[in-house]
Amino acid sequence: MEYKDYYHTLGVARTASDDEIKKAYRKLVRKYHPDVSKEADADARTKELNEAYGVLGDAEKRAAYDSLGSGQYRAGQEFHPPPEWGGGSAEDFFADLFAQFGNQRGGQRGGRHGFRMRGEDIHAVIEISLYDAYHGAQREISLGRQRNLKVTIPRGVTAGQHLRLNGQGQPGTNGAEAGDLYLEIAFQADERYRIEGRDVYEKVLIAPWAAALGGEREVVTPSGRVTVTVPPGSQAGRKLRLKGRGIPAAAAAGAAGDLYLILEISVPPANTPARRALYEQMQSEFGG
């Protein structure tokens, strides 16, 4: 029979490390897995990959395989088992090598073409609005190949948090369980807000007279409208703290963050004679 070059099957050199062999196998088995591949020979290629990794992924069987001639055989070349093997057929020799491999890390015994390996996890980033973090949301994401998935964004999530969706990663091989999907939370850019953990900083524009005289002001926040009191003589950059009005606590534990309103002075333009006269009067009164 023809010699089976398992190194050639996995696309690695004979000197490849165990880690390089594992990475090559996982990359190719994902590419040719019948559930995701469009290749006509996907099933046959998957069986070849499983067989190759079943030997090269095991130290003892790899050593036995390497002893066949340390590279003197090439793929497709007529092969004869070494005399010390006992005189069986070449087909039996390769079948024996493969059938003997047992549990591998991440895989399970499964017969000649039954090597089972859990699917790879998928990591992705999902952008949400600050409003979503306050109230929760439903989102639909695309995972490719016309596969859409509805995702529940729980109330109280924070930037950098990961949502784990069991079984939504890459499919496993030969009936093994699929990997998981990990979605990292990121907030959409919004110049109105700055977020630090669960604390939220919101810019609030006020007129010069409101800053000088103080008084009540209605402000729209991510949790709804609130009425705040601006102290007289407030300067630009002053922070008004609204305790507990930051990102809500997650369902598990913890406390809600705080909302800080950062005052910014909005100066109306002197674009009419009357307004200009008012500014000139102020200049005369306050100097400068």
| pLDDT tens-digit map of 44-65 | 888 888 888 878 888 887 887 7
Last residue of a domain, one of 91, 117, 143: 117
The answer on 13 and 101 residing in a single domain is: yes
- 3-state per-residue secondary structure call for the chain: CECCCHHHHHCCCCCCCHHHHHHHHHHHHHHHCCCCCCCCCHHHHHHHHHHHHHHHCCHHHHHHHHCCCCCCCCCCCECCCCHHHCCCCHHHHHHHHHHCCCCCCCEECCCCCCCEECCCCEEEEEEECHHHHHHCEEEEEECCCCCEEEEEECCCCCCCCEEEECCCCCCCECCCCCCCEEEEEEECCCCCEEEECCEEEEEEEECHHHHHHCEEEEEEECCEEEEEEECCCCCCCCEEEECCCCCCCCCCCCCCCCEEEEEEECCCCCCCHHHHHHHHHHHHHHCC
Q: Distance between CA atoms of 169 and 228, rounded to whole angstroms?
A: 47
Output the pTM of the full model.
0.60
In a domain, 149, yes or no: yes
pLDDT attached to residue 120: 78
pLDDT, tens digit (0-9, with 9 covering 90-100), for 5-38: 888 899 999 899 999 998 898 888 878 866 666 7
The answer on 126 and 76 residing in a single domain is: no
Residue type, 238: R
Q: Can you give the residue range of the structural domain that contains 149?
A: 122-187
The answer on 179 and 140 residing in a single domain is: yes
pLDDT attached to residue 121: 83
pLDDT, tens digit (0-9, with 9 covering 90-100), for 81-139: 555 444 444 555 555 555 544 333 344 444 444 556 787 788 888 999 999 999 999 99
pLDDT, tens digit (0-9, with 9 covering 90-100), for 163-211: 999 999 888 877 788 889 999 999 999 999 999 999 999 999 999 999 9
The answer on 28 and 101 residing in a single domain is: yes
* Mean pLDDT computed over every residue of the chain: 82
pLDDT attached to residue 248: 94
Q: What's the distance, Cα to Cα, between the start and end of the chain in Å?
A: 99
In a domain, 1, yes or no: no
The answer on 90 and 16 residing in a single domain is: yes
The answer on 281 and 211 residing in a single domain is: yes
Q: Which class for 265: exposed (0-12), middle (13-18), buried (19 or more C-beta within 10 A)?
A: middle
What is the total count of domains within the chain?
3
Question: Any idea what the CATH number is for the domain that residue 11 is in?
Answer: 1.10.287.110
Is the model's pLDDT at 254 over the cut of 50? Answer: yes
Last residue of a domain, one of 187, 214, 241: 187
